Amino acid sequence: MEDLIIMVSRTLGSFVLLTVVTLIIGKHINSHKNYYSFALSITIGSFIANMGFNTRLNFFEMLTGFLSLIFLFYLFLVLSSRSRRLRFWF
């Protein structure tokens, strides 16, 4: 029973985090259909699934990895908006 409560709370936290991130970066991912955005959306889904259901992984370590992925996305977004050469790749 205790494992069930832990899994439900992890899933709920992951869903809330996914909702917040989707509100922030969802328009950019959907408006720019390229391989980078496709890979990012798959990776986000993988992180959220592992955060919710894989109880052997530490939730906060996964959260740190997820937030660093979002930070890198914004970093590349800003850099590619300022450079044509980087815009080609990202």
Distance CA 5, CA 40 (A): 30
Distance CA 47, CA 52 (A): 9
The per-residue pLDDT of the chain, averaged, comes to 81
- CA Rg, the chain, in Å? 15
**Phi, psi torsion values for 54, nearest 5 degrees:** -90, 95
Domain that holds residue 50: 2-89
> What's the pLDDT band for 68 if we cut at 50, 70, 90?
very high
Between 44 and 35, name the one with better pLDDT: 44
Count of domains forming the chain? 1
What pTM, to 2 d.p., does this model score? 0.72
Task: Tell me what the mean pLDDT of segment 5-15 comes to.
Answer: 86
> What's the pLDDT band for 89 if we cut at 50, 70, 90?
low
Q: Which residues contact 81 (CB under 8 A, 6 or more apart)?
A: 87
